Copies of this chain bind each other. A is one copy, B any other.
Amino acid sequence: MARLAGVSVGTVSNTINRPQQVRPKTRRAVQEAIDELGFVPNQSARVLSGVSAQVIGLVVPDVASPFFMGVAKAVERAAGEVGHMVMLCNSGNEQASERRLLRMLAAQRVRGALVTPAGAAQPESAEDMPLVFLDHETGASDCSVSVDHFTGERLAARHLLALGHRRLAFVGGPARMWQMALRARGARRELAANGIDPAEALAEYTMPGFGIQDGIAAAERMLAGELPDGILCGNDMLAFGVYRGLARAGARVPEDVALVGYDDVDFAADWIVPLTTVRQPIDELGYRAATLLLEHTGQLPGGHEHRQERLLPELIVRESSAVG
C-alpha cells in the first residue's frame, strides 16, 4: 500500500480527493509513492464506502445501428467530460434481456442508466436506479429525451406541398415501430392542416422491414399504378431503395418525383442524387440524455424534478426534392 511508502492511511485518501487540505510537502511525498508503486485506487472500494460510481449504463435495442451508435458516441463523450464511463448493453429489443441488463447494472451500482425501452413498453422503474428514457416519451414521473418524429415528418410533408406536389406517398417500416407510425401520422396531419384529404392524396405503403430491399419493393408497388409526384420515406434506407426501384423503371428523381428520406445517414448527402431528408439530432439526443442523468443523480439538494425534453429534427433539403 501507498501508505507504507508514505507515512499514513486516510491521508492518502485526502491527498487524492481533497488535496487542498493536505500540506504541500506531504502531498508531494504521497504523490511520489503513488507514482512509484503505480497505485491505482480501487473503484470498487470507493463505491462500497458510499461514493457513487463513476459509471452509467446505456441500454439500446441494437448496438450496431448507426442511430444508436451515434447516440452511444455522444453519451460516451458526455460521460467522459465528467470522468465517467459507459456500460454498453444490447437488449436486442427483448424485454427479458432488458430486464436482465437493468438488474445487472443495478448490481454494479451504476450511477444510473439511459434506456431505449424494448418494444416501447416502459420497464418497471426497477431497482430504484435512476433512469432516463431515450427516444421514448414518458409521463411526468420520469425523465426522458425524445425526438419529435411527428413534427419531423410534418416538416417533410410541408416541404413537398410547398413545392406544389399533391399526389404523395408515404413508405413506412413495420407497424410495430412506433416511430414509423408517428411519422406517418405527421404526414397525414400536415396534409389535413392544408385542407387536403390524406385519404385521397397520400398513398401509404407499410413494408415488412426498413431496408433498401423494402424500398425497392415499395417502388415496384407504386409503379404498378399511377406514380405519385412526391414520396416521403420513413427512413433513408427505404428512400435509397425507392430510388433504385424507380430508376430501374426509368423514373427520374427529382424530375418525375420528389423523394424525401428520414435520418440523414452519412450517405444521404453523397447518394447518387443527394437526398433530401429529415435529420435527427442524434448527437444532441445522447448528450442531453446523459447530461440529464448526471445532473439528476448529482448531489443537488432539491430533489430531482423529472424533466421530459423533446428535440426537434431538421429538414435538410438536397437535390432529390429540388424544384423540378
Decide: B55 and A64 in contact? CB cutoff 8 A: no
**Of the 9-residue stretches A5-13, A65-73, A158-166, which lies at the interface with chain B?**
A65-73
Number of contacting residues on A, CB 8 A? 51
In the complex, which residues of chain B have a beta carbon less than 8 angstroms from the beta carbon of A47? 44
A168 to chain B, nearest CB (A): 25
Most chain B CB within a 10 A radius of its CB, from A47, A72, A85, A87: A85
A4 within 8 Å of B (CB atoms): no
Decide: A88 and B76 in contact? CB cutoff 8 A: yes
Per-position contact with B for A155-176: 1 when CB-CB < 8 Å, else 0? 0000000000000000000000
In the complex, which residues of chain B have a beta carbon less than 8 angstroms from the beta carbon of A105? 85
Decide: B63 and A66 in contact? CB cutoff 8 A: no
Decide: B270 and A272 in contact? CB cutoff 8 A: no
In the complex, which residues of chain B have a beta carbon less than 8 angstroms from the beta carbon of A41? 107
Decide: B89 and A108 in contact? CB cutoff 8 A: no
A17 within 8 Å of B (CB atoms): no
In the complex, which residues of chain B have a beta carbon less than 8 angstroms from the beta carbon of A80? 90
A277 to chain B, nearest CB (A): 16
Decide: B40 and A44 in contact? CB cutoff 8 A: no
- Provide the bound-state CA to CA distance between A99 and B90, in Å: 26
Known contacts A63-B76, A107-B41, A109-B44; is A87 also within 8 Å of B85 by CB?
yes
A103 within 8 Å of B (CB atoms): yes
- Chain A residues within CB distance 8 Å of chain B: 38, 40-45, 47-48, 53-55, 58, 62-66, 69-70, 72-73, 76-77, 80, 83, 85-90, 101, 103-109, 127, 211-213, 240-241, 244, 247, 267, 270, 272
| A-B pairs with lowest CB-CB distance, top 10 | A88-B88, A212-B270, A44-B47, A44-B44, A64-B73, A63-B73, A44-B48, A69-B69, A76-B90, A43-B107
